[in-house]
Amino acid sequence: MAKTKTVFVCQNCAYKSPKWIGKCPSCNSWNSFVEELETQEKASLKKTAKISPGSIKKLENISQKQNGRLTAPFSELNRVLGGGIVQGSLVLLGGEPGIGKSTLVLQTALKLTNTTVLYVSGEESPEQIKMRADRICKPESNIYILSEINIHKILDGICEAKPDLVIIDSIQTIFDEDLSSSPGTVSQVRACTQIFQEYAKKNQLSFLLIGHINKDGNIAGPMALEHIVDVVIQFEGDNNNYFRLLRAKKNRYGSTAEIGVFEMTNTGLNEIPDPGMLLLPDDITDMSGIAIAAMNEGARTLMLEIQALATTSVYSAPQRTATGFDIRRLHMLLAVVEKRLGIRLGQKDVFLNIAGGIKVNDTGVDLAVIAALLSSVFDKVIHRNTCLMGEVSLSGQIRPVPNIDQRLLEVKRMGFNKVFISKFQKTSIKNEKDFNILKIEKVNNLSPLLFD
Ligand code: TYD
Ligand code: MG
């Protein structure tokens, strides 16, 4: 077969080079060259092509063709997908290696009784998949396994098996022989995803692609795939912990606010429909440096344990480390504490950890981070019936958080009875005999009320 010509293109400024180069001579960006198939582009105004009559339509005259959705057997997965896998769509499931992506998709496939599924694996042999399937659930007969990494052979396999859903595990192992770069490189992964996308739209077939994420949290290079696929969901959690969170990063057919919660057991993944207290250990003892926050994710409120430790530094440049929390936001909150509360943190190492290995995106936990920090600095205990929610601004003011009523109801249900919120927060939930809502205006008002 004749080799197709390829060219290396800078992803920043579209400069083309016949060879891979590390630094773009045009825009000076590093590591931005990606191999692409060469297309003969001759832009000319003289050349026009006729479009077929009726191609331009008035928006109001376009009839809404509702694509069917394939309802997944997990309601937690459906919630994140916005109601199921849309026919003809490409869903990308990302996650760190070993988090449970293959287990989730295999379990989903095994439970889809009236659907034909083709499971393409480039990582595991059919025997390994069979062994796993036997362990997690009784295998159904309508799931076909194909162990293949060549994309053109996979497409041939799809034509033969005629499935309703194709699972690709994982997209990083698949390659297109027209490109000379090896499987897993940005150009291969992108080219293969584009081919699947085209095939999906043409044949109204749904694809579920698995993608390993690198340590920056990106799937095979920055934004390489996210704009091609229709839905991006991510599986997160701590390998040492049993629970997993499923989040939508992009969804063309629904909201990205929802999360799904699962636990990993020795017989596969189980859903957790009521995860409120899941992330809190059963045995919270009264120790300094710990504060509880109520985090909101879509229709869910989760209680989080925020751990902080401030110790005298032995280095000239003190360390700041955050796990599960944005380090720049921690720097900002430390600056607010220094300036507004006058607490000297310049000589202290500060460590922050969100228990359970989850990553926090909600700025509503700011107040709890400051509370945990104050608790560590003063070595005073925050009683475990206390919960905090509020965003902290640069001026030290406590700002309102969204969905407060929902959070407060959940906090009450979980048995917390002392809750700190912003003074500017409007809520219909009132103070009750056993439920005390403390409204504070500034971080300065926090510590006198926190440790009693
Ligand atoms: P896997 O789905 O292979 O992860 P990924 O595809 O994301 O790399 O799951 C890997 C881990 O899950 C493995 O280390 C063991 C654990 N596991 C269980 O605890 N119970 C089970 O029933 C299964 C199938 C896996
Ligand atoms: Mg896997």
Q: What is the pTM of this model?
A: 0.77
Tokens 């459906």 sit on residue: 78
Q: Ligand 2 centroid vs 114 CA: distance in angstroms?
A: 24
Q: What is the pLDDT of residue 150?
A: 93
Q: Is the dihedral of CA 220, 222, 227, 232 positive or negative?
A: positive
E strand or H helix that includes residue 310 = strand 300-312
Sort residue 344 into left (φ over 0), alpha (ψ -120 to 50) or beta: beta
Nearest ligand to the C-alpha of residue 124?
2
Q: Is 267 in the pocket of ligand 1 (CB under 6 A)?
A: yes
Tens digit of pLDDT at every position of the chain (452 positions) = 455 678 888 877 778 899 989 998 988 888 888 887 776 655 566 667 788 887 788 887 777 666 788 888 888 899 899 888 999 999 999 988 888 999 999 999 988 888 899 999 998 999 999 988 888 876 566 889 999 999 999 999 999 999 999 999 989 899 998 887 778 777 788 889 999 999 999 999 999 999 988 665 555 554 578 888 999 998 888 767 778 889 888 999 888 878 888 988 888 899 888 777 777 766 666 789 999 999 888 778 888 899 999 999 888 889 999 998 999 999 999 999 999 999 999 899 999 999 877 788 889 999 999 999 999 999 999 998 899 999 999 999 999 999 899 899 889 888 898 999 999 999 888 888 888 999 999 999 998 999 87
Atom of ligand 1 nearest to the CA of 96: 7
Q: Ligand 2 centroid vs 81 CA: distance in angstroms?
A: 20
> Can you tell me the distance from the alpha carbon of 374 to that of 337, in angstroms, rounded to the nearest whole number?
9
Tell the residue nearest (CA) to atom 2 of ligand 1. 100
> Can you tell me the distance from the alpha carbon of 93 to that of 231, in angstroms, rounded to the nearest whole number?
8
Q: Ligand 1 centroid vs 241 CA: distance in angstroms?
A: 12
Tokens 């057997």 sit on residue: 73
E strand or H helix that includes residue 156 = helix 151-161
End-to-end CA distance of the chain: 78
3-state secondary structure (DSSP) of residue 278: coil
Q: What is the pLDDT of residue 222?
A: 44
> Can you tell me the distance from the alpha carbon of 39 to that of 5, in angstroms, rounded to the nearest whole number?
9
> Can you tell me the distance from the alpha carbon of 184 to that of 174, in angstroms, rounded to the nearest whole number?
7
Tokens 């902080």 sit on residue: 308
Q: Is 172 in the pocket of ligand 1 (CB under 6 A)?
A: no
Q: What is the pLDDT of residue 215?
A: 61
Among the residues of 3-113, which ranges form H helices? 75-81, 101-111
Nearest ligand to the C-alpha of residue 106?
1
Domain 290-450 architecture: 2-Layer Sandwich (3.30)
Atom of ligand 1 nearest to the CA of 97: 8
Q: What is the pLDDT of residue 287?
A: 86
Tokens 């180069």 sit on residue: 21
Q: Ligand 1 centroid vs 170 CA: distance in angstroms?
A: 14
Nearest ligand to the C-alpha of residue 103?
1
Q: Ligand 1 centroid vs 280 CA: distance in angstroms?
A: 23
Q: Is 183 in the pocket of ligand 1 (CB under 6 A)?
A: no
DSSP assignment string, 225-268? TTTTSSEEEEEEE-TTSSEEEEEEEEETTS-S--EEEEEEETTE
Q: What is the pLDDT of residue 98?
A: 87
Domain boundaries along the sequence of the chain: 3-40, 68-271, 290-450
Q: Is 102 in the pocket of ligand 1 (CB under 6 A)?
A: yes
Nearest ligand to the C-alpha of residue 168?
2
Q: Is 97 in the pocket of ligand 1 (CB under 6 A)?
A: yes
264, 266, 267, 270, best to mutate for ligand 1 pocket (most atoms within 8 Å of CB): 264
Q: Is 135 in the pocket of ligand 1 (CB under 6 A)?
A: yes
Q: List CB contacts of 278: < 8 A, sequence separation 6 or more.
A: 243, 261, 272, 302, 356
Q: Ligand 1 centroid vs 172 CA: distance in angstroms?
A: 18
Q: What is the pLDDT of residue 432?
A: 81
Q: Is 264 in the pocket of ligand 1 (CB under 6 A)?
A: yes
3-state secondary structure (DSSP) of residue 352: strand
Atom of ligand 1 nearest to the CA of 101: 7
Q: What is the pLDDT of residue 140?
A: 63
Please, what CATH class does the domain formed by 68-271 belong to? Answer: alpha beta
Angle between helices 186-203 and 151-161 (to 10 degrees): 20
Atom of ligand 1 nearest to the CA of 264: 19
Q: List CB contacts of 303: < 8 A, sequence separation 6 or more.
A: 276, 277, 279, 280, 292, 293, 294, 295, 387, 411, 414, 416
Nearest ligand to the C-alpha of residue 105?
1
Could you report the per-residue pLDDT of 294-348, keeping only the tens digit for each?
Answer: 988 877 888 889 999 999 988 888 999 999 899 999 999 999 999 999 999 989 9
Q: Is 136 in the pocket of ligand 1 (CB under 6 A)?
A: yes
Tokens 């403390």 sit on residue: 438
Q: Is 414 in the pocket of ligand 1 (CB under 6 A)?
A: no
Q: Is 101 in the pocket of ligand 1 (CB under 6 A)?
A: yes
Q: Is 266 in the pocket of ligand 1 (CB under 6 A)?
A: yes
Q: What is the pLDDT of residue 64?
A: 66
96, 102, 103, best to mutate for ligand 1 pocket (most atoms within 8 Å of CB): 103
Tokens 């969204």 sit on residue: 402
- Between the alpha carbon of residue 234 and those of residues 204, 222, 259, 273, 343, the distances in Å are 24, 15, 10, 18, 39
